Structure 1
Amino acid sequence: MTDLTEPRYSPMKTRSLIDRLTNQEDLNFLLTNRVPRIALTRFMGWFSKIEHPLVCRLSIAIWKLFADLDLSEARHTDFRSLHDCFTRQLKDGARPVDPDPAVLTSPCDAIVGACGPIAGTELIQAKGFPYTLLDLLADPALVDTYRDGSYVTLRLKSSMYHRFHAPADCRVEHTTYISGDVWNVNPVALKRVEKLYCKNERAVIRTRLAADGAPITLVPVAAILVASMRLHWLDVLLHLRYRGPNEMPVRADFRKGQEMGWFEHGSTIIVFAPKGFTLVDGIASGHAIRMGHALLRRPGH
């Protein structure tokens, strides 16, 4: 029986609610995830492509208020739209590529997330939040390829350069597109949503190194306000409305550092290497890295 003498809203409960709403992490999570994510992402995709000088300038000015947006390295700054700014190219030479053939370089500018050896087939999203290779890659044969291998999670902040590049001379052999949700991929969400990367829209890009045929896989993961990616070897834009074919055999050769594609906004790329590859000294969670910097070292080097 309900106790009618107990107030429905006690001062303690009210205070707890206020504390929760004013907690920065809680507010961040609510504003970036407890919203109609897919609808908001589609709207942003439409809005960002509006080619109007006033809309473009105002949008970029507002963006700068909330992010460390630096356009000094952009190839040009006479942007036609917000989307044009998101997908900007950089001046020649802005990202030197490590020429050492013994290392794989970072495919993008990023903040390093979870990284290191894969424990059998299990890896880490954030502290206390594991997931498996099968959850992410959805291919048992590919799981065996990277059992006990190495991985690096690279998170692109919204203000960063959004194009990604080949980590070595390689051939893209296959692309799998997996449609999904668009959860935010920031640290707040990664600590709260289990198997987040495995829920989101993503592409599994299988490559082989030109030098020795070693398999390297890149998994670009889309997110809220992002949910579309362009790959140079495909003549379609991969986004929420795209439903197939999901398996796309490819034959596309890339030189180390050559552009492979881009996100429509910031997001995440997870790099997988087979057993024997190791992280380069200095690569650790929380560190910033630029495209072209050494990331993984080949076996025996």
Structure 2
Amino acid sequence: MRQGIYRLFIELTNRKWSSLLLGRFARSAASKRLIPSFAKVYHINQAEMEKELNQYGSLHEFFTRRLKTDARAIEAEPLAVVSPVDAVLEDIGPIEPTHEIYVKGKVYSIAEMLGGEEAAMRYAGGTYMVLYLSPSHYHRIHSPVSGKISKQWTLGTRSYPVNRLGLKYGKDTLAKNFRTITEMEHAHGRIVVVKVGAMFVNSIEAVHKGDTLEKGEEMAYFTFGSTVVLLFEKDTFVTTGKLKLPLPIKMGEKLGFLKP
């Protein structure tokens, strides 16, 4: 019953017109008045922001803020894989031979997430990680490894919530939401970075140019809170140890290691 009501509410509100209105307001000068209260409600660390609070011209500018250059340290160990975002590590586990993952008790198809069986095949038996960004987080996305971009593509049209309620009651949010996907080749295999759009705002803006990325280099940004899913090939990645979930983590902090 609860799941049905939740899904009905989302279907009725998550329409193109609502996304358009929200996006227009967030970019308007009028939205600037909400920035101080937003910063207070979400306990934004203003000391690490690139600019002062009153220098942001709209909520959109504030959502997509950059940080001071020394605000995040990138783990320098060559084989270390770092978090691409400030987030909560919600889940980690094996990718089944059937190309499925189990997140919060729900089954997701990697083939559907990536748009086909061929794309999913190389990740069977590998590892997935789900990193959730709330509205309070820094919204820019960085590369978890150094490597060469082999492919980038976009799937989906609408987005449903990707918070805990969305993962629990939503319908295939990680596999069906609007998402942009970057596949990279690193020295020991491949990794996929799936950037999943949030409810109402299907905005994931790429900022990187070229076909190579250094670990910690900026790739893109979310307009609002959302989720990043990392997929690793079999026998190419190991975590730092037994992680207690959910785990708050900062961009640049170590998630685990590549296996040579």
TM-score, L = length of structure 1: 0.78
1:68 to 37, 43, 47: 43
1:296 to 253, 256, 260: 256
Which residue of the partner structure matches residue 91 of structure 1? Answer: 68
The amino acid that maps onto 1:50 is: S
In structure 2, relative to structure 1, the CA distance for the partners of 1:196 and 1:30 (3 Å cut) is closer
2:193 to 218, 237, 250: 218
The amino acid that maps onto 1:74 is: M
C-alpha deviation, 1:152, in angstroms = 0.5
| Aligned counterparts, 1:237-248, within 5 A | none
Distance 1:143 1:152 in 2: 15
In structure 2, relative to structure 1, the CA distance for the partners of 1:172 and 1:143 (3 Å cut) is same
TM-score, L = length of structure 2: 0.90
SS of aligned partner of 1:61: helix
C-alpha deviation, 1:30, in angstroms = 7.7
1:144 to 121, 126, 132: 121
Distance 1:187 1:104 in 2: 25
Of the structure 1 ranges 199-208 and 280-289, higher mean CA displacement relative to structure 2 is found in 280-289
The amino acid that maps onto 1:85 is: F
C-alpha deviation, 1:275, in angstroms = 0.7
| Aligned counterparts, 1:34-45, within 5 A | 35-38=12-15, 39-45=17-23
| Aligned counterparts, 1:58-207, within 5 A | 58-64=33-39, 66-77=41-52, 78-120=55-97, 121-127=99-105, 129-207=106-184
Distance 1:69 1:261 in 2: 21
Give yes or no for contact 1:115–1:284 (8 Å, CA) kept in 2: no
Q: Which has the larger radius of gyration?
A: 1
Give yes or no for contact 1:151–1:271 (8 Å, CA) kept in 2: yes
Distance 1:67 1:26 in 2: 29
CA deviations on 1:114-141 (whole Å, 9 max, x unpaired) are: 21221222102312x1112112111222
C-alpha deviation, 1:198, in angstroms = 1.6
In structure 2, relative to structure 1, the CA distance for the partners of 1:63 and 1:142 (3 Å cut) is same
Aligned-residue identity in percent? 26
Runs of 4+ in 1 over 6 A off after TM superposition: none
Instruction: Say if 2:222 is the partner of 1:263.
Output: yes
The amino acid that maps onto 2:216 is: G
Distance 1:155 1:143 in 2: 22
The amino acid that maps onto 1:193 is: G
Give yes or no for contact 2:159–2:173 (8 Å, CA) kept in 1: no
The amino acid that maps onto 2:36 is: A
